[in-house]
Amino acid sequence: MKKILYLTTVFFAALSGQAVAQDAPIFPKGEKAPNVNHVGNVWLHELSEPDSTFNYGTSVATFDPGARLNWHTHPGGQILLILAGTGYYQEKGKPKQTVRKGEVVKCAPGVVHWHGATPESGVTYLSTTPAQNGKTIWMEKLTEQEYLGGKK
């Protein structure tokens, strides 16, 4: 009887599309990025390059658990829209924040920061990065203490 109930539930969930579509990625993962400015596995997919009308890049980034970017700044700032999973975001000198699916992070121009996945969960976000003032400036790797600890 339990099995019939379960199968009925699965059938109707599939019919409504909820169970199937909930965790499917919206955008393709794209190319695995070479480990130049990050630790761990990161995939980047540029959805829209900056042009003369829309002067900002729009990309999807997917991080395996434990993957994180080096410290960096964006001369034009950056907005992150968290699409899936759980990650970290930290500005230099401030506490590390946990960020989750559905949250929005605004990083002001020139602020030194990093973002990435937590040790236990991957994270996927959409980033919009204004390009008119120049490209991302990459800095040093995080220490393990910075990644796992609370404040710096």
Query: 69 φ, ψ to 5°?
Result: -80, 160
Query: 40-74 b/e with 16+ CB inside 10 Å = b?
Result: bbbbbbeeeebeeeeebbbbbbbbbbbbbbebbbb
Q: Interface mask (CB under 5 A) for Mn ion, residues 2-41, using x and -?
A: ----------------------------------------
Instruction: Give the nearer residue to Mn ion in terms of CB position, either 101 or 139.
Output: 139
**Shortest spacing between CB 143 and Mn ion, in angstroms:** 18
CB 124 within 8 Å of CB 85: yes
Q: 10 or 137, CB closer to Mn ion? A: 137
CB of 36 to Mn ion, least distance (A): 15
Indicate the residue among 78 and 124 with the shorter CB distance to Mn ion.
78
Spatial contact of 69 and 37, defined as CB atoms under 8 Å apart: yes
The least distance separating Mn ion from the CB of residue 90, rounded to whole angstroms, comes to 11
Position closest to Mn ion via CB: 78
54-93: which residues touch Mn ion (CB under 5 A)? 78
Which among 120, 119, 131, 86 has a CA at the least distance from the CA of 105? 86
Residue 67: name the closest of 98, 37, 100 by CA. Answer: 37
Tell me, by CB under 5 A, how many residues bind Mn ion.
1
Instruction: State the residues that interact with Mn ion by CB under 5 A.
Output: 78
